[in-house]
Copies of this chain bind each other. A is one copy, B any other.
Amino acid sequence: MMSPRRSVHHAQQTRHAIVAAGVALASVEGLAPLSLGRLAAVTGVSKSGIVGHFPSKEALQLGVLAEAVRIFRREITVPAEHCQPGLARLQAVAENWLSYLDRGVFPGGCFFTNVTAEFDGREGPVRDAIAGANEEWRGYLAAEIAVAVDRGELDPATAADQLIFELMGLMLSLNHFLQLDHDPRAVDRARLGLSRLLQSCAPAPGATANSPPG
Seen from chain A, the residues whose Cβ lies within 8 Å of a Cβ on chain B are 27-30, 32-33, 107-109, 113-114, 116-118, 120-122, 131, 134, 161-162, 165-166, 168-173, 176-177, 179-180, 185-186, 189-190, 192-193, 196, 200
Residues of B within 8 A of A122 (CB): 28-29
Smallest beta-carbon distance A188→chain B, Å: 9
In the assembled complex, 22 residue pairs joining A and B whose CB atoms fall closer than 8 Å, in A order, are: A28-B122, A30-B30, A32-B33, A33-B33, A108-B120, A109-B121, A113-B117, A114-B117, A121-B179, A131-B180, A162-B189, A165-B177, A165-B186, A165-B190, A165-B193, A166-B170, A168-B173, A168-B177, A169-B173, A172-B172, A172-B173, A196-B200
Residues of B within 8 A of A193 (CB): 162, 165-166, 169
Q: In the assembly, what is the distance between CA of A95 and CA of B118, in Å? A: 26
Q: In the assembly, what is the distance between CA of A114 and CA of B189, in Å? A: 22
Q: In the assembly, what is the distance between CA of A29 and CA of B189, in Å? A: 31
| Cβ A168 vs Cβ B161 within 8 A | no
Q: In the assembly, what is the distance between CA of A186 and CA of B192, in Å? A: 23
Q: In the assembly, what is the distance between CA of A185 and CA of B196, in Å? A: 23
Q: In the assembly, what is the distance between CA of A113 and CA of B113, in Å? A: 10
| Cβ A161 vs Cβ B176 within 8 A | no
Candidates B120, B180, B200; contact of A120 at CB < 8 Å: B180
Q: In the assembly, what is the distance between CA of A107 and CA of B108, in Å? A: 25
Candidates B108, B134, B192; contact of A121 at CB < 8 Å: B108
**Additional A-B contact list (9), CB under 8 Å, known A109-B121, A162-B193:** A28-B122, A117-B117, A117-B118, A117-B179, A120-B180, A121-B179, A169-B169, A169-B172, A172-B172
Residue in B closest to A186 when the chains form the complex, CB atoms: B165
Q: Which 9 A-B pairs have the closest CB atoms?
A: A169-B169, A169-B173, A120-B179, A172-B172, A108-B121, A117-B117, A28-B121, A165-B189, A168-B173
Residues of B within 8 A of A180 (CB): 116, 120, 131, 134
